[in-house]
Chain A
Amino acid sequence: MPNAYFKRILFLVLISMAQAWPAIAETTSPARANELERLVRQDCGSCHGMTLKGGLGPDIRATALDGADAEAIAQIILNGVPGTPMPPWRPLMSEDDARWIANYLLTVPDP
């Protein structure tokens, strides 16, 4: 009985910790992160270039983004930019995915 009780406490503690952490820390698995990195390089790369320095679409490397708000970038990824070729990616990814990509773009040094 005490054993079950401690398990329950441990479970509640873990749950509350998970909720306290930023979304990016615990909802994007390493496997998903790999998929997203590939998506950024290869598929965002269709317009922004594989090194992200721009093509038909603009340069989206960290220096060019110049510390823009991650949440704002995530919203652009999810909703697209109406009137431009930037499409909404919401049908293909979760909000956490978009936040992961926004942080990735802001933190990966320019090649």
Chain B
Amino acid sequence: MKHFFSGLFILALAIVITGTLYADDTDLRGTGDLGIIIERATGSLLIIDSTTRTTVNRVVGLGDLSHASAVFSRDARFAFIFGRDGGLTKVDLLTGTIAGRVLQAGNAIGGAISDDGTLVAVSNYKPGGVRVFDVETLAPVADIPAQWSGGQSKTVGLVDAPGRKFVFTLWDAGETWIADFSKGNQPQVTKFADIGDRPYDALITGDGRHYIAGLYGEDGLALIDLWAEPLQPRRILNGYGRGEEKLPVYKMPHLEGWALAGDRFVLPAVGRHEILWVDRKSFAEAGRTEVHGQPVFAVARPDGRHVWVNFAHPDNDTIQVIDSLTGKIIKQWKPGPAVLHMEFTARGHEVWVSVRDADVVQVYDARTFQKKAEIPAKSPSGIFLTSRAHKTGL
């Protein structure tokens, strides 16, 4: 009996000390189906559950989130949000709280997390260059000012590459740099000059092998095969505009997650109302599809069969879906005013679509195109699901 009571006492003590550790099972959850929606005008974000298609939490106080993007920690618990105002915020998806925040520059454009999950890098406009931080503490690790003859260059197209590397491109200087952190936190930087006139964005293929920068000032793209020795940038799709005068570009396209659709990659053209198909081996042009306006995102469904395309102002109320086998548009509709972003679930069964000026995010069945849910959000822009945690370049 005495033992029973002392046992009970120890149990009670254990419960008091450990508190929620022994919480009911229903309080525990994974993060694999969570995601965030940027609310660009209010400096807030929604944490969403993509299984129940509901909002779990709203996190406020993230600064200027126009053009904000995010990456995830390896355990998919933390999101790192890159704000326009240079704010880098670490958000805990489980508690819905800010776990850390630094104002690391005056004007920033995006970021990346290293393959080992230890470094988070931010691409800056003002001052230019790239700054790198410790994932745990957000303490500064390295500063790469991206100096060129004109001062510090604005940087774009910052991605992670295998082997604790970051690759980014200098808008003003027309250069691509590789910062290699494999030997420690002092990066070895390799520079490629003259990749082209005003590279506006870049991406890395899902296998981490090819880095491609889109050029605003020229008809073409710059490609670096990161497996080649020596490394040598080369021009692809040279002259795809056929020297014709560009149509006005009211919003720069985004190159995000090189959309592989069967044997072809798909890319938005600049200054042409077309998407471009590129042979996955030769990187030669393999066709083009005329679309509704200046494409912004051309996102392949994860299996590659369909490509969803949205458009720049004033055609940004429309989505077109293209069959990658035939290159033909198979579906077109108007979700609402200002369709800004489309995000597939990991295996591509559903798509989340932000419709900024309707203050709503719509969830579609990716095969039937049926709308399955609408989630209220304030001026929603980027949508980022945690499955990105496990993909190179996202």
Contact = CB atoms under 8 A, between A and B. Distances in A.
Main secondary structure of the interface of A (DSSP, over half): loop
Interface residues on A, range: 20 to 34
B252 A85 contact: yes
Nearest to A39: B313
A25 interface: no
A50 B84 contact: yes
A55 B108 CA distance: 8
Contact of B67 (A55, A88, A91): A55
Interface string A48-60: 0111011110000
Contact of B249 (A50, A51, A87, A92): A87
A17 B109 CA distance: 49
B8 interface: no
Contacts of B40: 50
A43 interface: yes
Nearest to B200: A56
Contacts of A38: 357
Contacts of A55: 67, 84, 107, 109, 125
Interface string A11-46: 000000000000000000000000000110011011
A47 interface: yes
B60 interface: no
B356 interface: yes
Nearest to B248: A87
B107 to A, nearest CB: 6
A90 to B, nearest CB: 9
Given A42-B356, A56-B171, A51 B66 contact: yes
Interface in A62-111: 80, 85, 87-89, 91-92
Interface of A: 38-39, 42-43, 45-47, 49-51, 53-56, 80, 85, 87-89, 91-92
18 contacts: A38-B357, A43-B251, A46-B250, A46-B251, A47-B252, A50-B40, A50-B41, A50-B67, A51-B66, A53-B107, A54-B125, A55-B84, A55-B107, A56-B154, A85-B249, A88-B248, A89-B248, A92-B314
